[in-house]
Structure 1
Amino acid sequence: MCRHEGGVAVSARVLALWCPDWPAVAAAASADLPATHPVAVTSANRVIACSATARGEGVRRGLKRREAQARCPHLHVTVADQDRDARLFEPVAAAIDAIAPGVEVLRPGLLVLSARGVSRYFGSEHAAAERLIDESSAAGVECQIGIADELSTAVIAARRATVVTRGGGAQFLAPLPVAELAAEPSLAAPDRADLVDLLHRLGLRTIGDFATLSPVDVASRFGTDAVLAHRSARGEPERPPSARALPPDLDVEQQCDPPIDRVDAAAFAGRALAEQLHVKLAAASVACTRLLVQASTGNGEHLSRTWRCAEPLTPEGTADRVRWQLDGWLTGRSEARPTAGVVVLRLEPVEVVAAGALQLGLWGGVGDEDERARRALIRVQGLLGGEAVQIGVLSGGRGPAERITFVPLGDELVPEFDPAAPWPGRLPEPAPSSVLDDRPEVALENGAGDPVSVTERGVFSSEPAALRWGTRSWQLRGWAGPWLVDERWWDPASAHVAARAQVLLANWSEPDRQQSKALLLLCHDQSWSVEGVYE
């Protein structure tokens, strides 16, 4: 944003208030733990946030949960919970908003506001920063303040508790590592980390190195997010002033009867209202980047909070923020907690962009379906435990079941055995479409009805012609193999000798259609069983 003084455009100063390690702070407060107790917050079995005490014990972000507990045995480990983070951050936002109106929440633990009014009220920017830190401490939370000309610069300055001089944003950012451009997820696209990695490989290690590139070269070589990151690195406005007027009648409102006083009812109402809002936004061909959530209670109390987002809000993102805000109002520890249920809920877009900035999903939805699925799996993992959700990784082995290593979601995808190593007797491609755990027994027979086995030379004792499975029998239309497997022959205690064969059955399920099905058979101790099925 810009204001004009004497006909000259002057960039409005931005104040950012950052609460370090907020997910860990909120987790400790929720568990009634002292601030000095080591705490780690995990997602997908990896540490995503930890307290300063935990870092002193060697815990770091990215560590596996077990490794973190091994480094700090008395570590309190909890699963990431955005609802908890937002609920416990609302008292802090309310305390700051009480003395510095115009607070905008970027995410739980980070808020911004215009520095102009608060600095004039308290006498200077430094005095305003000291007062806001005192108010945050009174709410029981430690914070750091950063002030700069641009929002992203102010957030980076908050991480260093710095007030950047007017016009000195580029000079302040220049010596910092380029990874700082991706340090705050609420101000960057999801793939910003990939951009930082690419810049590192190109030899651009600092923000100043990146800023020296020509804007034309950046725009022609990289994507849209790189252009935004480059503007941030040069200390230029990330969102230039726009003359776009808000289309009329975008606000949505819901009368709540009976009044809402429970979080589950608030979440239901918020999701329905979010869907209504995005229907109106889609009809106007715009997307929302700043959202005002308002609520009125039965006792005449009026509550409001603005949420700012780097990317246009999706219906799910809007519903999440409405739920977080209502949860914070209804169950938070703020002194401004309403004394009655919510009777009117209202959503108002404060800032919109062209709808082209909102990426539609493959199936007609909005947002990243892969990320939504991952969030759902992480939620299941948080409810059932780290081992409850596992991912199959291609491994080394001879049989189809042996070539799959299951790894808990979030752990490094490392196979148990090297798939590139030579595996004599390995089943040739293609692999069966399904592998049977129970391995039902079958009988392989020749044309005379006699059993067929595998000799020590690794060949059939006679040519197979039919397969009998329980009370049913099928003629064979073809077969391949056998492939002999002789494992750990040097250790009699664990030695294993078996053979595999593929057979093609005629008239599998519908005799009048001449359908066929292929099976993978395993022969062990002269007995045959079904190991896999080819579709």
Structure 2
Amino acid sequence: MRTLVLWCPDWPVRAALPDLPRDVPGAVMDGGQVLACNHAARVEGVRRGMRRRDAQARCPELALADHRPEVEARAFEEVLLGVEELSPAVTPLRPGLCALPVPARFYGGEEEAAAVVAERVVSLAVWDVRLGVADGLFAAEQAARRAVPQGVHVVEPGADAAFLAPLPVETLEAPEVVSLLRRMGLTTLAHLAALPASDVHTRFGTHGALLHRLASGQDPRLLARREVPPELGGILTLEPPVSSSETVAFSLRSVAERFVARLADHGLVCTALGIEVEVDDQVASTRRWVHPRWFGAVDVVDRVRWQLQGGPLPGPVGAVRLVPESVAPVGEHAPALFGPGGRGAATAQEDDRVERGIARVQGLVGHEGVLAARVQGGRSPSARRLLAPWGEQTQPARAVGAPWPGSVPPPAPATVYASPRPAQVVGPGDRVVGVDGRGAISCAPVRFRAAGDEDWRPVASWAGPWPVDELWWDEAAARRVARFQVVGVDGTAWLMVVENGTWWTEARYD
């Protein structure tokens, strides 16, 4: 069976910035580096792996978004469902990339089948889709990467090895192995394929042996058809259509209960719910709701009521459709003994009221309009702050438990300024306190002016410095700072930072 690979270039950018015009540069950041960028950004000189500062220096109008794998996977699910309408044996490889056996006999040929698949994906508003056909999965993926937009590159049967031979070894996406191969003078897949398989296995192990087989056009991997998710949604049809939101909500109760029960039968709970409201057989209102734990029947009814009350509809409601956009095993969200987190029933009820209130506000201002703060790794208080849409389980970009040399010890300051504010710190004889390259201070602080102060304050106590020498290998992004904790005689405590002899106030301890 021949293999067809479907590739949507720059998928992280499309998923994170769905409303971005094609001619506007955009990029997705991960750990302060460019993970992916669109064609408009590449024209301006932005490249994958480039640091944020360098990318913005080359393209000041660059639109940025954080890497959110769950958003990419959820957006690609629509593409997978569309392709499954044509061929059920779809294998998702990663968001933006999937494979399936070529349904050539059904559509009259490989190019004809690829054209039908491309047309289906384009109908989902994904204009840049490329397809490749080959004997093996690896060769088909490389063929897709060499196709034109909405086109297909077909490798003739038995010609995988010849097609792969001139490609560079970087195609294997194995940096450690590729680096060694380059030092050995092996620059193309043909060079690697020419080595004896036993020698490659001895030097590189099982992983190297797999790379050798891929370079030789002998891909041993088989397509694993994904399990088509069960129909877990729910629908309420109203005959005749109803104008009252309360009547619609009352009629929806039994549908919501069956919706939740059907998920429970599969050991699942819904954490993100899509609600579509139809008027005259047309979708008149659609919204995505997120729950910090999971949706019960009452939660579903509430969201429908709030959505109907949020704005006028063009006519009476004829149908309401419930779509579970994100589900999770029930074991991950099971309540603890005596209520959530082991607390009492009264506390659990208070939490429910708070969560319902926040959810209603989120429904009015949008999913990205209500943010929850979490802690991630970092040296400065601002770097440790992570803001994510309320209810969404966003993974921190930097691990909290990792060592962070130069970070200020706890407790953390209560007020962190969005941008540092000017400050002054002097020692005896009004000498400005400085810190040399070895972290030694020029003199002890005697008095200071914090953010917004007009008068000087005597120093009661101080601690520090905590020097940080960041990105010293990057001349453009390098930064050397030192942080101090300073307490005034009036009891106020501040976190201050000195950089290049200039003092700033970063935060205040309340």
Q: TM-score, normalised by structure 1?
A: 0.48
Change in Cα spacing, 1:198 to 1:387, as seen in structure 2 (3 Å) is closer
Q: Percent identity?
A: 36
Alpha-carbon contact 1:298-1:342 (below 8 Å) kept: yes
Is 1:135 the counterpart of 2:70? The answer is no
Look up the match of 2:438.
397
**Which deviations, in whole Å up to 9, do the C-alpha atoms of 1:314-345 show, x marking residues without a partner?**
xxxxxxxx9xx98899589xx9x993466998
Which one-letter code corresponds to 1:23 in the other structure? P
Which one-letter code corresponds to 2:37 in the other structure? C
1:227 to 191, 197, 209: 209
- Alpha-carbon deviation of 1:78? 0.8
**Which deviations, in whole Å up to 9, do the C-alpha atoms of 1:152-207 show, x marking residues without a partner?**
1111111012211111111101100000011xxxxxxxxx2111111111111111
Task: Give the match's secondary structure for 1:297.
Answer: coil
Which one-letter code corresponds to 1:50 in the other structure? C
Is 1:23 the counterpart of 2:23? The answer is no
- Alpha-carbon deviation of 1:377? 4.7
- Alpha-carbon deviation of 1:28? 2.4
1:36-435 equivalences in 2 (<5 Å): 36-115=23-102, 118-141=103-126, 142-161=128-147, 162-182=153-173, 192-239=174-221, 292=227, 294-297=229-232, 299=234, 330=274, 339-340=321-322, 377=377, 383=387, 391-392=404-405, 397=438, 399=440, 404-407=467-470
Which one-letter code corresponds to 2:79 in the other structure? V
Change in Cα spacing, 1:343 to 1:211, as seen in structure 2 (3 Å) is closer
Equivalent-residue separation in structure 1 for 2:177 and 2:134 (angstroms): 24
- Alpha-carbon deviation of 1:299? 4.5
**Greater RCO between the two (CA within 8 Å, min separation 6)?**
1
Larger Rg: 1
**Which deviations, in whole Å up to 9, do the C-alpha atoms of 1:97-126 show, x marking residues without a partner?**
1112211111110010011xx111111111
Alpha-carbon contact 1:45-1:410 (below 8 Å) kept: no
Which one-letter code corresponds to 1:397 in the other structure? R
Change in Cα spacing, 1:298 to 1:44, as seen in structure 2 (3 Å) is closer
- Alpha-carbon deviation of 1:416? 6.2
Equivalent-residue separation in structure 2 for 1:93 and 1:240 (angstroms): 18
Identify which range, 94-103 or 395-404, moves more after superposition: 395-404
Alpha-carbon contact 1:87-1:331 (below 8 Å) kept: no
Give structure 2 stretches of 5+ with no counterpart.
148-152, 237-265, 277-282, 289-319, 330-374, 389-395, 408-435, 442-463, 488-500, 502-510
Alpha-carbon contact 1:97-1:103 (below 8 Å) kept: yes
Alpha-carbon contact 2:376-2:398 (below 8 Å) kept: no
**Which deviations, in whole Å up to 9, do the C-alpha atoms of 1:264-319 show, x marking residues without a partner?**
xxxxxxxxxxxxxxxxxxxxxxxxx8763633326499xxxxxxxxxxxxxxxxxx
Task: Give the match's secondary structure for 2:17.
Answer: helix
- Alpha-carbon deviation of 1:227? 1.0
1:467-486 equivalences in 2 (<5 Å): none
Equivalent-residue separation in structure 2 for 1:416 and 1:84 (angstroms): 33
Alpha-carbon contact 1:164-1:172 (below 8 Å) kept: yes
Alpha-carbon contact 1:58-1:71 (below 8 Å) kept: yes
Equivalent-residue separation in structure 2 for 1:387 and 1:409 (angstroms): 19
- Alpha-carbon deviation of 1:94? 1.5
- Alpha-carbon deviation of 1:411? 8.0
Change in Cα spacing, 1:129 to 1:387, as seen in structure 2 (3 Å) is closer
Look up the match of 1:14.
3
Which one-letter code corresponds to 2:139 in the other structure? T
Alpha-carbon contact 2:74-2:325 (below 8 Å) kept: no
Alpha-carbon contact 1:210-1:230 (below 8 Å) kept: yes
Equivalent-residue separation in structure 2 for 1:146 and 1:391 (angstroms): 45
Change in Cα spacing, 1:139 to 1:436, as seen in structure 2 (3 Å) is closer
Give structure 1 stretches of 5+ with no counterpart.
1-11, 183-191, 242-288, 302-321, 348-374, 418-434, 441-493, 495-535
Equivalent-residue separation in structure 1 for 2:472 and 2:140 (angstroms): 35
Look up the match of 2:239.
none
Alpha-carbon contact 1:391-1:408 (below 8 Å) kept: no
Alpha-carbon contact 1:41-1:48 (below 8 Å) kept: yes
Equivalent-residue separation in structure 2 for 1:15 and 1:233 (angstroms): 18
Change in Cα spacing, 1:21 to 1:137, as seen in structure 2 (3 Å) is same
**How many equivalent pairs are there?**
303
Which one-letter code corresponds to 1:168 in the other structure? A
Alpha-carbon contact 1:37-1:53 (below 8 Å) kept: yes
Change in Cα spacing, 1:22 to 1:215, as seen in structure 2 (3 Å) is same
Task: Give the match's secondary structure for 1:58.
Answer: coil
Equivalent-residue separation in structure 1 for 2:476 and 2:466 (angstroms): 14
- Alpha-carbon deviation of 1:238? 2.5
**Which deviations, in whole Å up to 9, do the C-alpha atoms of 1:502-533 show, x marking residues without a partner?**
xxxxxxxxxxxxxxxxxxxxxxxxxxxxxxxx
